[in-house]
Amino acid sequence: MEELEQWKEQFSHLSNLAMDRLREVPPNQLYVAAAIAIFTTLLLFSVRLLKRAKSNTVVLTGLSGSGKTVLFYQLRDGSTHEGTVTSMEPNEDTFILHNEETRGKIKPVHIVDVPGHSRLRPKLDEYLPQAAGIVFVIDALDFLPNCRAASEYLYDLLTKGSVVRKKIPVLILCNKTDKVTAHTKEFIRRQMEKEIDKLRASRSAISDADIANEFTLGVPDEPFSFTQCSNKVTAADASGLTGEISQLEEFIREHVKQ
């Protein structure tokens, strides 16, 4: 009990000293200190709000001819925009998904269709930092001849710092699956995993100075699987020309909340 009483006396003494010192401070300095404290609090609150703010941008990318632009117009207008269109500049717009137009208050989505030509791919780096999700479009009908090129492109995408650090979810969208001869998403996924596994081996033999990728993929001494990626990678089917894009719409709404 004596120790408790002594502690109370010390606390009371320190409190009185603090109040005496506070009275000695000129009023104008008190006002400045209070203003700084308020400003700092508001600044920290604003930063937290910005961190919590979710992006509404979804990026469509993939090789030329995979059907990205048709998918873009299906999402926006519910049309094919007169079939296949080769894009030389990114198509982008902010809109309510076409299948949601008759519903109530819905958050618009910013969709960016990035051209697949190798010379135009640097444009992709402008949009990745703000992406809530990435849709990597594959031509399921003409997949095998393009498997290597598509896998290299996806490998580069999955090792970009802007994608890995933010753990941006990636959807491998197998387009044109309405055709009987189209490959299944399971087959495409397995083949791309095998191809990326070969790429890992060949690129690990190159010196670090020659590698542009910021991160490596997979687990050492294990066959590569998309489940080993730090960001979630899934696969889905679609047909831009027939408007079968429900799995794409679900992916978008999963990552661009209402």
Top pLDDT among 119 and 159 is at 159
pLDDT at 45 over 90: no
**What is the value of pTM for the model shown?**
0.76
pLDDT, one tens digit per residue, over 139-180 is 999 999 999 999 999 999 999 999 999 999 999 999 999 999
| Phi, psi dihedral angles at 140 (to 5 degrees) | -70, -20
In the chain the domains, ranked by start, together with CATH numbers, are 2-51 (no CATH), 55-255 (3.40.50.300)
- Rounded CA-CA distance 219/247 in Å is 29
Sign of CA dihedral 53, 127, 171, 198: negative
pLDDT for residue 119: 81
Per 3-state DSSP, what percentage of the chain is helix, strand, and coil (rounded to 5)? Answer: 50, 15, 35
pLDDT, one tens digit per residue, over 192-251 is 999 999 998 887 665 454 445 568 888 988 999 999 999 999 999 999 999 999 999 999
Lowest-confidence segment of 21-25, 57-61, 168-172 by average pLDDT: 21-25
Quote the DSSP letter at residue 67.
S
Average pLDDT score, the chain: 82
